[in-house]
Amino acid sequence: MKRREKKAVFITAYDYPTAMYADVAGVDMILVGDSVANTTLGFRSTTSVTMEDMIRHSGAVTRAVERAFVIGDMPYMSYQPSDEAAIRNAGRFIAEAGCDAVKCEGGERVAPRIRAMVDAGLVVMGHIGLTPQNLAQLGGYRVQGKTSRQVEALTADIKAIEEAGAHFVLLEAMPPEVGAALRESVEIPVYGIGAGPHVDGQLLILHDVIGMQDPGILKKPRFVKRYADVGSVIVDAVSRYSADVRSGVFPSEEHFYGG
Ligand code: KIV
Protein backbone atom coordinates (compact mmCIF):
# COMPACT_ATOMS: atom_id res chain seq x y z
CA MET A 1 0.00 0.00 0.00
CA LYS A 2 2.85 2.37 0.78
CA ARG A 3 4.38 1.72 -2.63
CA ARG A 4 1.01 2.44 -4.24
CA GLU A 5 0.68 5.58 -2.06
CA LYS A 6 -2.54 4.24 -0.54
CA LYS A 7 -3.31 5.14 3.07
CA ALA A 8 -3.88 2.15 5.32
CA VAL A 9 -6.93 2.10 7.60
CA PHE A 10 -5.95 0.73 10.98
CA ILE A 11 -8.22 0.33 13.99
CA THR A 12 -8.24 -1.58 17.26
CA ALA A 13 -10.63 -4.42 18.10
CA TYR A 14 -10.69 -6.69 21.12
CA ASP A 15 -13.33 -9.37 20.70
CA TYR A 16 -15.31 -11.35 18.13
CA PRO A 17 -18.10 -8.83 17.40
CA THR A 18 -15.96 -5.70 17.25
CA ALA A 19 -13.45 -7.46 14.98
CA MET A 20 -16.20 -8.83 12.76
CA TYR A 21 -17.75 -5.37 12.30
CA ALA A 22 -14.37 -3.74 11.63
CA ASP A 23 -13.49 -6.43 9.08
CA VAL A 24 -16.86 -6.17 7.33
CA ALA A 25 -16.37 -2.38 7.19
CA GLY A 26 -13.20 -3.07 5.20
CA VAL A 27 -10.34 -1.89 7.43
CA ASP A 28 -6.88 -2.96 6.31
CA MET A 29 -5.33 -3.72 9.69
CA ILE A 30 -6.59 -4.50 13.18
CA LEU A 31 -4.57 -4.01 16.35
CA VAL A 32 -5.59 -6.11 19.32
CA GLY A 33 -4.23 -3.38 21.58
CA ASP A 34 -3.30 -3.69 25.20
CA SER A 35 -5.76 -0.77 25.37
CA VAL A 36 -8.18 -3.68 25.92
CA ALA A 37 -7.29 -2.79 29.53
CA ASN A 38 -9.10 0.55 29.31
CA THR A 39 -11.72 -0.14 26.66
CA THR A 40 -12.96 -3.56 27.69
CA LEU A 41 -11.59 -4.72 31.04
CA GLY A 42 -12.10 -1.55 33.10
CA PHE A 43 -8.47 -1.05 34.13
CA ARG A 44 -6.95 2.43 34.28
CA SER A 45 -3.56 1.32 32.94
CA THR A 46 -2.49 -0.93 30.09
CA THR A 47 0.18 -2.34 32.43
CA SER A 48 -2.58 -4.40 34.13
CA VAL A 49 -3.00 -6.63 31.08
CA THR A 50 -1.38 -10.09 31.00
CA MET A 51 -0.26 -12.41 28.19
CA GLU A 52 -3.24 -14.65 28.98
CA ASP A 53 -5.63 -11.69 28.51
CA MET A 54 -3.98 -10.77 25.21
CA ILE A 55 -4.00 -14.32 23.83
CA ARG A 56 -7.68 -14.75 24.75
CA HIS A 57 -8.70 -11.44 23.12
CA SER A 58 -6.44 -11.85 20.08
CA GLY A 59 -7.85 -15.31 19.38
CA ALA A 60 -11.40 -13.93 19.49
CA VAL A 61 -10.38 -11.26 16.96
CA THR A 62 -8.65 -13.62 14.52
CA ARG A 63 -11.60 -16.03 14.63
CA ALA A 64 -13.84 -13.18 13.45
CA VAL A 65 -11.60 -11.70 10.77
CA GLU A 66 -11.60 -12.87 7.17
CA ARG A 67 -9.39 -10.33 5.44
CA ALA A 68 -7.77 -7.69 7.69
CA PHE A 69 -4.14 -8.09 8.83
CA VAL A 70 -4.21 -8.68 12.62
CA ILE A 71 -1.48 -7.44 14.95
CA GLY A 72 -1.25 -8.59 18.56
CA ASP A 73 0.03 -6.04 21.07
CA MET A 74 2.70 -7.42 23.37
CA PRO A 75 1.73 -6.55 26.97
CA TYR A 76 3.86 -4.97 29.65
CA MET A 77 6.81 -7.17 30.66
CA SER A 78 6.17 -9.78 27.97
CA TYR A 79 9.23 -8.64 25.95
CA GLN A 80 11.20 -6.25 28.16
CA PRO A 81 12.98 -8.88 30.34
CA SER A 82 14.91 -10.83 27.65
CA ASP A 83 15.17 -11.82 23.98
CA GLU A 84 14.02 -15.29 24.97
CA ALA A 85 10.85 -13.95 26.66
CA ALA A 86 10.15 -11.73 23.65
CA ILE A 87 10.43 -14.59 21.13
CA ARG A 88 8.40 -17.01 23.27
CA ASN A 89 5.57 -14.56 23.93
CA ALA A 90 5.50 -13.17 20.40
CA GLY A 91 5.34 -16.75 19.12
CA ARG A 92 2.23 -17.35 21.26
CA PHE A 93 0.40 -14.52 19.43
CA ILE A 94 1.04 -16.36 16.15
CA ALA A 95 0.71 -20.01 17.19
CA GLU A 96 -2.09 -19.79 19.78
CA ALA A 97 -4.01 -16.67 18.76
CA GLY A 98 -3.54 -16.76 14.97
CA CYS A 99 -2.20 -13.19 14.64
CA ASP A 100 -0.20 -12.08 11.61
CA ALA A 101 2.26 -9.90 13.51
CA VAL A 102 3.09 -8.41 16.90
CA LYS A 103 3.72 -4.87 18.16
CA CYS A 104 5.97 -3.77 20.98
CA GLU A 105 6.59 -0.33 22.48
CA GLY A 106 9.93 1.47 22.56
CA GLY A 107 12.77 2.61 20.34
CA GLU A 108 16.51 2.14 20.73
CA ARG A 109 16.21 0.25 23.96
CA VAL A 110 13.92 -2.46 22.57
CA ALA A 111 15.75 -2.72 19.23
CA PRO A 112 17.63 -5.87 20.38
CA ARG A 113 14.28 -7.52 21.21
CA ILE A 114 12.92 -6.59 17.78
CA ARG A 115 16.02 -8.05 16.13
CA ALA A 116 15.60 -11.29 18.12
CA MET A 117 11.91 -11.62 17.16
CA VAL A 118 12.56 -10.84 13.49
CA ASP A 119 15.41 -13.36 13.44
CA ALA A 120 12.95 -15.91 14.84
CA GLY A 121 10.77 -15.31 11.77
CA LEU A 122 8.17 -12.96 13.25
CA VAL A 123 6.64 -9.86 11.65
CA VAL A 124 7.10 -6.96 14.07
CA MET A 125 5.69 -3.45 14.40
CA GLY A 126 7.58 -0.87 16.46
CA HIS A 127 5.77 1.83 18.45
CA ILE A 128 7.35 5.12 19.52
CA GLY A 129 6.27 8.53 20.81
CA LEU A 130 3.72 8.31 23.57
CA THR A 131 4.13 4.73 24.73
CA PRO A 132 1.50 4.01 27.42
CA GLN A 133 3.54 1.21 29.02
CA ASN A 134 6.11 3.89 30.01
CA LEU A 135 3.66 6.54 31.20
CA ALA A 136 5.46 7.03 34.51
CA GLN A 137 8.75 7.80 32.74
CA LEU A 138 6.98 10.09 30.26
CA GLY A 139 5.19 11.98 33.04
CA GLY A 140 1.69 10.99 31.89
CA TYR A 141 -0.26 11.30 28.64
CA ARG A 142 1.83 14.03 26.97
CA VAL A 143 2.41 14.96 23.34
CA GLN A 144 5.93 13.85 22.36
CA GLY A 145 8.46 15.45 19.99
CA LYS A 146 7.90 18.99 21.22
CA THR A 147 11.56 19.86 21.76
CA SER A 148 14.52 19.39 19.41
CA ARG A 149 16.04 16.94 21.90
CA GLN A 150 12.90 14.82 21.85
CA VAL A 151 12.85 14.90 18.03
CA GLU A 152 16.50 13.77 17.93
CA ALA A 153 15.68 10.91 20.29
CA LEU A 154 12.63 9.90 18.23
CA THR A 155 14.74 9.95 15.05
CA ALA A 156 17.33 7.70 16.67
CA ASP A 157 14.50 5.43 17.86
CA ILE A 158 12.84 5.00 14.47
CA LYS A 159 16.18 4.35 12.77
CA ALA A 160 17.12 1.76 15.40
CA ILE A 161 13.75 0.04 14.92
CA GLU A 162 14.20 -0.10 11.14
CA GLU A 163 17.80 -1.25 11.51
CA ALA A 164 16.62 -4.03 13.85
CA GLY A 165 14.42 -5.38 11.06
CA ALA A 166 10.95 -4.15 12.11
CA HIS A 167 8.51 -4.33 9.22
CA PHE A 168 6.58 -1.17 10.16
CA VAL A 169 6.29 1.36 12.92
CA LEU A 170 3.57 3.26 14.74
CA LEU A 171 3.97 6.87 15.89
CA GLU A 172 1.79 8.07 18.77
CA ALA A 173 0.92 11.63 19.82
CA MET A 174 3.30 14.09 18.19
CA PRO A 175 3.06 17.22 16.04
CA PRO A 176 2.36 16.56 12.33
CA GLU A 177 5.70 17.97 11.17
CA VAL A 178 7.51 15.53 13.45
CA GLY A 179 5.39 12.65 12.12
CA ALA A 180 6.26 13.73 8.57
CA ALA A 181 9.99 14.02 9.29
CA LEU A 182 10.11 10.62 10.98
CA ARG A 183 8.28 9.04 8.06
CA GLU A 184 10.82 10.55 5.66
CA SER A 185 13.71 9.23 7.74
CA VAL A 186 12.96 5.53 7.07
CA GLU A 187 11.83 3.22 4.24
CA ILE A 188 9.41 1.04 6.21
CA PRO A 189 5.70 1.95 6.42
CA VAL A 190 4.96 4.44 9.19
CA TYR A 191 1.48 4.64 10.71
CA GLY A 192 0.20 7.23 13.13
CA ILE A 193 -2.23 7.68 15.98
CA GLY A 194 -2.30 11.39 16.66
CA ALA A 195 0.80 11.94 14.52
CA GLY A 196 -0.76 14.05 11.75
CA PRO A 197 -1.70 13.31 8.14
CA HIS A 198 1.75 12.80 6.56
CA VAL A 199 2.10 9.11 7.41
CA ASP A 200 1.21 5.90 5.59
CA GLY A 201 -2.00 5.18 7.49
CA GLN A 202 -4.09 6.11 10.51
CA LEU A 203 -4.88 4.13 13.64
CA LEU A 204 -7.70 4.95 16.06
CA ILE A 205 -9.11 3.12 19.06
CA LEU A 206 -12.42 1.58 18.00
CA HIS A 207 -14.21 2.55 21.20
CA ASP A 208 -13.25 6.21 20.65
CA VAL A 209 -14.51 6.06 17.05
CA ILE A 210 -17.87 4.55 17.96
CA GLY A 211 -18.43 6.44 21.22
CA MET A 212 -18.26 3.55 23.65
CA GLN A 213 -15.78 4.83 26.19
CA ASP A 214 -15.98 5.55 29.90
CA PRO A 215 -14.63 9.12 30.14
CA GLY A 216 -13.67 8.38 33.74
CA ILE A 217 -11.17 5.77 32.50
CA LEU A 218 -9.83 7.40 29.35
CA LYS A 219 -10.38 11.01 28.22
CA LYS A 220 -11.04 11.55 24.50
CA PRO A 221 -7.75 12.81 23.05
CA ARG A 222 -7.71 15.73 20.60
CA PHE A 223 -6.76 13.51 17.65
CA VAL A 224 -9.89 11.35 17.97
CA LYS A 225 -12.79 11.79 15.57
CA ARG A 226 -16.02 10.24 16.84
CA TYR A 227 -18.29 8.74 14.18
CA ALA A 228 -21.10 7.29 16.31
CA ASP A 229 -22.56 7.30 19.79
CA VAL A 230 -22.96 3.59 20.36
CA GLY A 231 -22.93 4.10 24.14
CA SER A 232 -26.21 6.04 23.91
CA VAL A 233 -27.70 3.44 21.54
CA ILE A 234 -26.97 0.71 24.12
CA VAL A 235 -28.37 2.73 27.04
CA ASP A 236 -31.51 3.51 25.03
CA ALA A 237 -32.09 -0.13 23.98
CA VAL A 238 -31.51 -1.52 27.49
CA SER A 239 -33.71 1.19 29.04
CA ARG A 240 -36.59 0.36 26.68
CA TYR A 241 -36.15 -3.39 27.35
CA SER A 242 -36.21 -2.65 31.12
CA ALA A 243 -39.39 -0.59 30.78
CA ASP A 244 -41.07 -3.37 28.76
CA VAL A 245 -40.17 -6.04 31.34
CA ARG A 246 -41.37 -3.89 34.22
CA SER A 247 -44.66 -3.03 32.52
CA GLY A 248 -45.29 -6.59 31.26
CA VAL A 249 -45.11 -5.57 27.58
CA PHE A 250 -42.26 -8.07 27.12
CA PRO A 251 -42.50 -10.99 26.59
CA SER A 252 -45.60 -10.93 24.41
CA GLU A 253 -47.15 -13.83 22.53
CA GLU A 254 -44.75 -13.63 19.57
CA HIS A 255 -41.89 -14.42 21.99
CA PHE A 256 -43.53 -17.52 23.54
CA TYR A 257 -42.62 -21.10 22.51
CA GLY A 258 -45.41 -23.25 21.14
CA GLY A 259 -49.01 -22.19 21.09
O1 KIV B 1 -3.03 -0.64 22.82
C2 KIV B 1 -3.26 0.13 21.89
O3 KIV B 1 -4.39 0.28 21.42
C4 KIV B 1 -2.14 0.88 21.36
C5 KIV B 1 -2.46 2.16 20.68
C6 KIV B 1 -2.81 3.21 21.67
C7 KIV B 1 -1.35 2.60 19.83
O8 KIV B 1 -1.02 0.51 21.56
Bond before 221 cis per omega within 30 degrees:
no
pLDDT at position 259, please?
Answer: 59
Measured distance CA(27)–CA(10) in Å, rounded: 6
Angle among Cα 124, 127, 132 to the nearest 5 degrees reads: 130
**Contact status, residue 209 vs residue 226, Cβ threshold 8 Å:** yes
CA of 83 to the centre of ligand 1 (A): 22
Q: Across the chain, which distance is largest between two alpha carbons, in Å?
A: 76
CA of 78 to the centre of ligand 1 (A): 15
Closest by alpha carbon to 234, among 210, 215, 252, 216? 210
Pocket, ligand 1, Cβ cutoff 6 A: 12, 31, 33-35, 73, 170, 172, 193, 203, 205
pLDDT at position 220, please?
Answer: 79
The pLDDT tens digits of the residues spanning 116-131 come to: 999 999 999 999 999 9
Measured distance CA(38)–CA(74) in Å, rounded: 15
- What is the residue extent of each domain of the chain? 8-228, 230-259
- Burial of residue 153, with CB atoms counted within 10 A of its CB: 0-12 exposed, 13-18 middle, 19 or more buried: middle
The pLDDT tens digits of the residues spanning 88-107 come to: 999 999 999 999 999 999 99
Q: What angle, rounded to 10 degrees, do the helices at 111-119 and 148-163 form? A: 20
**CA-nearest residue, atom 3 of ligand 1:** 33
- Give me Rg for the CA atoms of the chain: 20
Measured distance CA(68)–CA(26) in Å, rounded: 8
Q: Which atom of ligand 1 is nearest to the CA of 193?
A: 7
Q: How confident is the model at residue 215 (pLDDT cuts 50, 70, 90)?
A: confident
Superfamily of domain 8-228: Phosphoenolpyruvate-binding domains (3.20.20.60)
Residue 218 reports pLDDT greater than 70: no
CA of 253 to the centre of ligand 1 (A): 47
